[in-house]
Amino acid sequence: MNEDDIEAASWEGGHALVVELGDCDLWGHCQCGKSFGNITPDKSLDDFAMPWERHVMTEVPDS
């Protein structure tokens, strides 16, 4: 995939999915600040990806 194929909502719009390691868990949030909660490291990152995708597709206005 090249940069021309990347959706504007996730590249230029500041809505990248960010996953950070806490003390004993992973925290997920959007680059814009919306939180997706936390999970333990043995869980699937899909627990963040699905709500992030819903956020980007339905809550972020078209530019």
Element (H, E) at 52: helix 46-54
Domain map (residue ranges) of the chain: 16-59
Residue 1 has pLDDT above 60, yes or no: no
Residue 3 has pLDDT above 90, yes or no: no
The pLDDT tens digits of the residues spanning 6-63 come to 555 445 567 899 999 999 999 999 988 899 999 999 999 999 999 999 998 888 777 6
Contacts of 45 (CB under 8 A, 6+ apart): 19, 26, 28
Q: Work out the angle at residue 29's Cα, subtended by the Cα atoms of residues 58 and 55, and round it to the nearest 5 degrees.
A: 5
Kindly report the backbone phi and psi dihedral angles of residue 27, in degrees, each rounded to the nearest multiple of 5, phi listed first.
-110, 135
pTM over 0.95: no
Give the whole-angstrom CA distance, residue 17 versus residue 11.
10
